[in-house]
């Protein structure tokens, strides 16, 4: 009896969701890859792009702007503990290895390159590693475990976040239909952190400068987003990411003021002030 090959079943599901009316998170088979640094380059003054490649990048999958991978780092004593393949999943050792989670900014199947944009911050494990990384340096990458598939059928899209969300916002804007309409709000320290974005003409992009306020402080993002008026009768999709406390009021606004169903928005705390390696799923 022949066995049915289910390895690409997620691709069928992605196509179904894209053809539908509501967004949905779709899981992909999760791999662990040994890749090499190809090059690094600043992206504005707030991000450092690490381009990864090599044989380990072959067959990588990228389907959604908010999908992420974990970069796995050696322990303080120098040992490297890696998860093991377990079917379409990974089996992680305990305690869990030291890792940091980042958005997949770009994957180019032709060159086999994966771009990860890392926000600079002094003393950060991954940003310190990225700043010192040279071509040929090896790192292990786990994921992506899946991504948020959003149909191109909404009337408008509202994207918002801080510098940590900028890689996902940039990819969102690139992958949207050129006929898309909506808004994108990005909070950065100052104009030096602004980058060129390839947005559809119908999407208004606004940069918000926090100035001397520390990252994750202030209400500029909340005020800008909640000033938006969605035309009556139009369907809107809202995607927000950033410091967990700073974006919390936007959850209430989306639910209580816009009255959106859970399938029509995604609001995620990417980090939390004072917490290293914050994972919203743990809170």
Q: What is the pLDDT of residue 216?
A: 86
Q: What is the pTM of this model?
A: 0.93
Q: What is the pLDDT of residue 283?
A: 37
Q: What is the pLDDT of residue 3?
A: 42
Is the pLDDT assigned to residue 25 strictly greater than 80? yes
Is the pLDDT assigned to residue 105 strictly greater than 50? yes
Q: What is the pLDDT of residue 172?
A: 97
Determine how many CB atoms are found less than 10 A away from the CB of residue 64.
23
Is the pLDDT assigned to residue 84 strictly greater than 80? yes
C-alpha span between 242 and 198 (Å, rounded): 21
Report the DSSP beta bridge partners of residue 55: none
pLDDT (average), residues 236-257: 96
Is the pLDDT assigned to residue 233 strictly greater than 70? yes
Is the pLDDT assigned to residue 85 strictly greater than 70? yes
List pLDDT tens digits, range 247-282. Answer: 999 999 999 999 999 999 999 999 887 666 656 554
Q: What is the pLDDT of residue 106?
A: 97
Q: What is the pLDDT of residue 34?
A: 97
Q: What is the pLDDT of residue 274?
A: 64
- pLDDT over 70, % of the chain: 94
List pLDDT tens digits, range 165-221. Answer: 999 999 999 999 999 999 999 999 999 999 999 999 999 999 999 999 988 888 999
Mean pLDDT of the chain: 93
pLDDT level of residue 8 (50, 70, 90 thresholds): confident
Closest to 53 in 3D by CA, of 37, 69, 41: 37
Decide: 151 and 22 in contact? Cβ < 8 Å: yes
pLDDT (average), residues 49-72: 96
C-alpha span between 104 and 67 (Å, rounded): 6
């Amino acid at each position: 009896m022949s066995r049915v090959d289910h390895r690409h079943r997620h691709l069928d599901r992605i196509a179904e969701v894209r053809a539908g009316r509501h967004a949905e998170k779709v899981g992909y088979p999760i791999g662990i890859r040994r890749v090499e640094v190809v090059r690094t380059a600043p992206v504005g003054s707030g991000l450092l792009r690490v381009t990864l490649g090599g044989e380990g990048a072959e067959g990588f999958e990228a389907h959604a702007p908010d999908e992420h991978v974990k970069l796995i780092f050696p322990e303080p004593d120098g040992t490297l503990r890696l998860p093991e393949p377990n079917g379409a999943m990974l089996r992680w050792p305990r305690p869990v290895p030291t890792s940091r989670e980042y958005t997949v900014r770009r994957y180019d199947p032709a060159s086999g390159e994966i771009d990860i944009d890392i926000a600079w911050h002094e003393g950060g494990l991954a940003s310190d590693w990225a700043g010192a990384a040279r071509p040929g340096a090896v790192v292990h990458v786990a994921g992506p475990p899946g991504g948020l598939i959003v149909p191109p059928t909404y009337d408008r899209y509202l994207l918002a976040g801080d510098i940590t969300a900028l890689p996902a916002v940039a990819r969102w804007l690139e992958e949207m239909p050129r006929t898309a309409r909506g808004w994108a709000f990005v909070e950065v320290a100052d104009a030096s952190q602004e980058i060129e974005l390839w947005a559809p003409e119908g999407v208004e992009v606004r940069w918000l400068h926090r100035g001397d306020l520390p990252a994750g402080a202030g209400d500029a993002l909340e005020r800008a987003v909640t000033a938006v008026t969605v035309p009556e009768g139009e369907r809107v999709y809202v995607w927000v990411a950033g410091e967990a406390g700073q974006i919390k009021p936007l959850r209430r606004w989306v639910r209580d003021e816009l009255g959106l169903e859970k399938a029509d928005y995604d609001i995620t705390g990417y980090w939390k002030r004072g917490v290293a390696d914050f994972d919203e799923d743990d809170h």
